[in-house]
Amino acid sequence: MTYRYKAYQLSNIDKNPELQSHVPQAEIEEMKVVAHVLPHKVNNYYNQEIIDWENYQFDPGFRLVYPQRDMLPPALFEIVKEYLETFSDKEERKIFLNSIRLKLNPHPAGQKTHNVPIMDGLELHSLQHKYAETLLIFPYHAHTCAAYCQMCFRWPLFVDDEAMKFTVGKKINIQMEVALEYIRRHPEITNALITGGDPMVMAPKLLRQYIRPLFEANIPHLQAIRIGSKQLSYQPYTFTQGKKAQQILQLFQEVTDAGIHLSFMAHFSHKRELETESVQEAIKNILSTGANMRTQSPVLRFVNDKWQEWAGMWKKQTTMGMIPYYFFVVRDTGAQDYFAVSLERAWNIFRDAYSRVSGLARTVRGPSMSCIPGKVEITGISKIFGVKLFNLRFLQGRNPEWVGHPFYAKYDPKAIWMDDLQPVIGNKFFFEEEMPIFDKAIGSEMIPLELMPTKNEPVPQIPVQMLQG
């Protein structure tokens, strides 16, 4: 039987059969209020094969993809609800809802302000260059996912407001020419990460147009292509069914045959996502192309905030041939307060799980916070002369020199993010002194000085018509 993908969003939420038959209408009405602010999308695979609807209130999959009233602060929920009950004009609603979204830190970790590189004086909005060796490429055609995680840190890509998106045009050849030229000029870039949204929602012939130029360009320093995706959790049939699956696997095979390392960065949130027949077949198929698979997810309250869940995932992933990679702290955006666990709790969950898996699964790093200066890992909680401290280090830094050096923060049992932490001595962490130097995408420093914009000078954009189809 061919599986046909069917998505349910706010616009057709009343036609979502599983939701309608298991969840009281009053609860669905609350979901609708939240879904006007935080994008909502789920699909028939996740509904039918992942969520246990008989216990939906406690089901990790349900909590991951369905909006809940508490995802908005109570006062904000009431404001949005009242507004929607009172005003129906589409354009006015759009302006209002975007103003609400702006209160929820839609672009964490400087995604739009600090990571967009500049080449020949132009901001390249389809790329991000935060760490020296890795360039992120955002395909225009991957500004969506097969379902939406409610804690998503790229959620502005999914809302009806161009200004919130990573603006790129439809012309793939121009986007890729720009990306290749940028990579050629930056010998420090060894990895291109195709990201989104989810690149695996693209039709194979579109995906090919983004990936093929990367391995055909024959740039000696470009050694690896990574694909960041949650498609194995949300729609594994992509890799198992029909001609499309064959075309994708063929493309992966071509990458590895070209001697380029292909790493599929798979996002799995809880064990059930690894258990269906289709996901197991899909993983085997991807591995058969010579691609590597690395796994990652944030730790989320209600979804995976138990060490048993993580130990189980890492064991299963290793058995299936994947490499556990990152245990993230949920980012400071959108529904962070709903999903966040304290940094202390995140560390305890990580440590308890890590200590119970074999060395094969101890490839995982974390708890890691992807914040503006870099990826900061909590390596422990110490007591020195009776004083509790968080032990930290950079796994990645805007300045590569920061990586690996231990540093410390005052213990705070309520802290959920880097911004909540205070240095032990003085009022600044060591890297904060240097942050003004690194407040642009890393490659931007390599443009001729005369082209570097000053702080007060707006940077010209690539003319939109150049990129539009």
Contact (Cβ atoms closer than 8 angstroms) between residue 136 and residue 193: yes
The pattern of x and - marking residues 262 through 301 that bind ligand SF4 according to CB under 6 A reads -----x----------------------------------
The vertex-111 CA angle with 408 and 415, nearest 5°, equals 35
- Answer for which of 8, 62, 148, 237 binds ligand SF4 (CB under 6 A) is 148
Write out the binding residues for ligand SF4, residues 80-109 only, by CB under 6 A.
none
Asked if residue 230 binds ligand SF4 (CB under 6 A), the reply is yes
Cα distance between residue 391 and residue 410, in whole Å = 9
Kindly state the tokens that stand for 184: 């050629």
Asked if residue 166 binds ligand SF4 (CB under 6 A), the reply is no
Closest distance between ligand SF4 and the C-beta of residue 265, in Å?
10
What are the residues facing 329 on neighbouring strands? 299
Cα distance between residue 137 and residue 381, in whole Å = 36
Greatest Cα-to-Cα distance within the chain, rounded to the nearest angstrom? 66
Q: Which helix (H) or strand (E) holds 194?
A: strand 191-194
Closest distance between ligand SF4 and the C-beta of residue 322, in Å?
17
Closest distance between ligand SF4 and the C-beta of residue 144, in Å?
8
Q: How many residues bind to ligand SF4 according to rule CB under 6 A?
A: 10
Structure-token match 């556990």, residue found? 324
Cα distance between residue 227 and residue 198, in whole Å = 9
Asked if residue 197 binds ligand SF4 (CB under 6 A), the reply is yes
**Part in contact with ligand SF4 (CB under 6 A); list of ranges 142-150, 251-259, 287-295, 317-325:** 142-150
Kindly state the tokens that stand for 77: 């929920």
In the bound state, the residue with its beta carbon closest to ligand SF4 is 152
- Answer for which of 35, 135, 149, 299 binds ligand SF4 (CB under 6 A) is 149
Query: What is the CB-side half-sphere exposure of residue 427 using CA atoms within 13 A?
Result: 0
- Answer for which of 152, 200, 225, 392 binds ligand SF4 (CB under 6 A) is 152
The length of the chain, given as a count of residues:
469
Q: Based on CB atoms, which residue is closest to ligand SF4, 149 or 248?
A: 149
Assign 51 to helix, strand or coil.
coil
What are the residues facing 229 on neighbouring strands? 266
Closest distance between ligand SF4 and the C-beta of residue 198, in Å?
5
**Part in contact with ligand SF4 (CB under 6 A); list of ranges 15-23, 143-151, 161-169, 245-253:** 143-151
Q: Point out which residues bind ligand SF4 (CB under 6 A).
A: 145, 148-149, 152, 154, 196-198, 230, 267
